[in-house]
Amino acid sequence: MSIPNRSQQRKDMVSLLERMGISDSRVLQAMGIVERHLFVPEFYRFQQHGDPYGDYPLPIGCDQTISQPFVVAYMLEKMKLIPGEKVLEIGTGSGYVAAVLDEMGVEVFTIEIIPELARRATQALSSRVHLLPGDGYSGWQEKAPFDAIIISCAPTEIPRILIGQLKENGRMILPVGKFSQRLVILKRKDGKIQLKEDLAVRFVPMVKSRK
Ligand code: SAH
């Protein structure tokens, strides 16, 4: 079996993202560096089972998936992130999005509800990334407010508590809906909330913890 050339695969993935319309150089650069294959289970690291750099989601165990590269790039680009900003991600999963955010030079806080995935992501991620095993519906009050909140799983409506954890000029992006979902982009400006519906997407549901 030939060993895949990972850096070439990343270059190809980034060129595809550019052709698909992604232009934020910080996002493209970070996705060109982060080793996506290390965030998928070993079974999927080789092409015969699915290419870790292909533009599709892949299973990561516990019935969850690592998001498709285009959707990751699209969501991060929409947040117009600047190095040094504080970002909360909900739904760490494999840790891939958190790793890209970390590579972009923002301060990353990420929450994962499935203990097994939280444990694995902790091992995969740099110690710079702050990971909280638990339910993201209540956000991370002690670390708030955030410049941006990115939700990697789909609630049926926008969790209000999270809006309260955004800074003035803060942004949030999340998929909303049960069967048919849309990305929603939310901005907090002059104390008011602006909402915009965007792409149709498909994410795993944001679940509520059973207490
Ligand atoms: N960004 C991840 C996507 C993982 S899929 C990646 O690139 O791998 C979404 C994740 O959201 C799953 O791991 C799921 O367990 C998690 N999740 C679902 N509901 C949640 C909640 N209420 N709080 C925190 N995480 C949640």
**What is the 3-class SS of the chain, one letter each residue?**
CCCCCHHHHHHHHHHHHHHCCCCCHHHHHHHHHCCHHHHCCHHHCCHHHCCCCCCCCEEEECCEEECCHHHHHHHHHHCCCCCCCEEEEECCCCCHHHHHHHHCCCEEEEEECCHHHHHHHHHHCCCCCEEEECCHHHCCHHHCCEEEEEECCECCCCCHHHHCCEEEEEEEEEEECCCCEEEEEEEEECCEEEEEEEEEECCCECCCCCC
Pocket test for ligand 1, best of 117, 152, 211 (most atoms within 8 A of CB): 152
CA of 115 to the centre of ligand 1 (A): 11
Q: List the pLDDT tens digit at each of the 211 positions of the chain.
A: 577 899 999 999 999 999 999 999 999 999 999 999 999 988 888 767 778 999 999 999 999 999 999 999 999 999 999 999 999 999 999 999 999 999 999 999 999 999 999 999 999 999 999 999 999 999 999 999 999 999 999 999 999 999 999 999 999 999 999 989 999 999 999 989 999 999 999 999 999 986 5
Within 6 A (CB) of ligand 1 lie 60, 64-67, 90-91, 93-94, 96-97, 111-114, 117, 135-137, 152-153, 204, 206-207
CA of 113 to the centre of ligand 1 (A): 7
**What CATH number labels 61-201?**
3.40.50.150
CA of 64 to the centre of ligand 1 (A): 7
Q: What pLDDT is stored for residue 210 in this prediction?
A: 67
Q: What pLDDT is stored for residue 211 in this prediction?
A: 57
